[in-house]
Chains A and B, each alone.
Chain A
């Protein structure tokens, strides 16, 4: 492992980390002994060429697949292999590369699903309570799609679905948010809006980890960038440093 610039000390007690994480599919090693520590309270970028293991890392971290070996820790607790819903409730939310919403439910219901009550009384209570509806409407307004409240999610445009997915993740009030290619297939104006939103939410205390290929977006909104290649981190640091790192260029251009 090359010298990873662990320059500035950051608060690791609350951060999301992986230790020696490994996961293979058939003969292909997607993530290879990856040890990463995402900066808490910052907007982290996770970049790298296609197939470098970024989405697999996300899937391992959020419990969707179990790593072959290694650990995932969050706020000091080992969450390796936990069920996805437990990880979500621990405060980690995520969006999907191919934006996933509940197609035949209304936009409002899509958000109401994400409320957190677990006791019996709350579970048997109405799904559409005042409190939940107000909060949902708040997020929808912030996304600019509140007028679509009663539309079925499958009728929304791609960009609107992305915003809806993001709103749904935020309804659960997560502390750390993983975004998988938020700018994918989205027009430039909307990319800008999403970027602004991320910085605003970060200022409000949310940690972000963003997998993205759109370098403009990454360089402009991320505080800290980690570069992946062939299943493990090869460089990390602030955008300015990464932009000129020869290893990064090499990874992207091949050889």
Chain B
């Protein structure tokens, strides 16, 4: 940067690293600090949401394609894991990884078909994907148990409830860390810049030589892999699957809400969104019981984000932070005004 923040240059990254370390520490210490298993399950739920939202953000954040159908991918991961254990007799975690690979492989033709269209058609396809899988998995009761539910055997049957939850808390935390790491790598990479160009102007980026279709597809497959993995891990943890909850446009849209709320252009945006929305949903359930009002709550929250904070909370907060604590770091508009004056001066000189 060519502005006047040279002495503060190393301060920013240090503060950020410290914040990450503190956050990680808080997460790791969480299970030990809560006394009832219920809070632990809430924590796992939030971590699960965070993984799903971050995984979604590989597509939504980088390419700008809004998929409401990621519920299909997590559902497939969940059922594939369950079926590999019960039907193929595989050990739990072997089944999990094979199921993830299966979802990633399936994502190739699905993505190839869906990514051929953009905008409205893409959203429609993503929703249709979830709905058709819902139909199939509900009707094929002989295989999937349909609406009666599908029981997934626990990987560690000898563990007590509390210990079971604790193990899975750390497993989900590990998965989240992996997803965040991959997202970070892509974010700063050349590949990531290409994806962001697609988000800005797909045709223009193609005219500049970026293989847009291949790029979108790779992002989609990576997203699908993490989403499927999260779905499978959930199946191992929760143990009971119902198509209505697994193949749900609502779940898919909740992921979108979380990513949007936190900020899709930021590494920790989806995580932040998951914490806020996840806690909110839990609170709702406690206060109002299992009424449909949580739908109203989710709807109102999504409404509020879209209308008032479409960029998400993190950009809004950092904007506020900059205005309050770093007033010398002038806004882009002011930088540009000065730069414009400079360029006009230069243009005037060139005329002579």
Contacts and interface: CB of A to CB of B under 8 A. Distances in A.
B339 interface: yes
Nearest to B194: A113
Nearest to A106: B332
Q: Is the interface of B mostly helix, strand, loop or mixed?
A: helix
Given A83-B206, A102-B197, A127-B192, A147 B347 contact: no
Contacts of A104: 200
A126 B209 contact: no
Contact of B340 (A84, A126, A149, A157): A157
Interface in B116-170: none
A68 B212 CA distance: 24
A134 to B, nearest CB: 15
A114 B191 CA distance: 11
B11 interface: no
Contact of B332 (A101, A103, A123, A151): A151
A151 B2 contact: no
A126 B206 contact: no
A64 B207 contact: yes
Interface stretch (B47-55, B66-74, B182-190): B182-190
Contacts of A94: 207
B210 A113 contact: yes
Contacts of A93: 207-208
B294 interface: no
Contact of A112 (B1, B193, B204): B193
Contact of B203 (A84, A150, A156): A84
B339 A123 contact: no
Given A62-B207, A85-B212, 16 more contacts: A84-B203, A84-B207, A94-B207, A101-B201, A102-B200, A102-B205, A103-B201, A105-B200, A109-B196, A124-B186, A126-B190, A144-B343, A147-B342, A150-B1, A172-B209, A189-B347
Enumerate the 5 nearest inter-chain pairs by beta-carbon distance, A residue then B residue, closest first. Answer: A88-B209, A102-B200, A127-B193, A123-B191, A84-B206
Interface of B: 1-3, 185-186, 188-194, 196-197, 200-201, 203-213, 332-333, 335-336, 339-340, 342-343, 346-347, 350-351
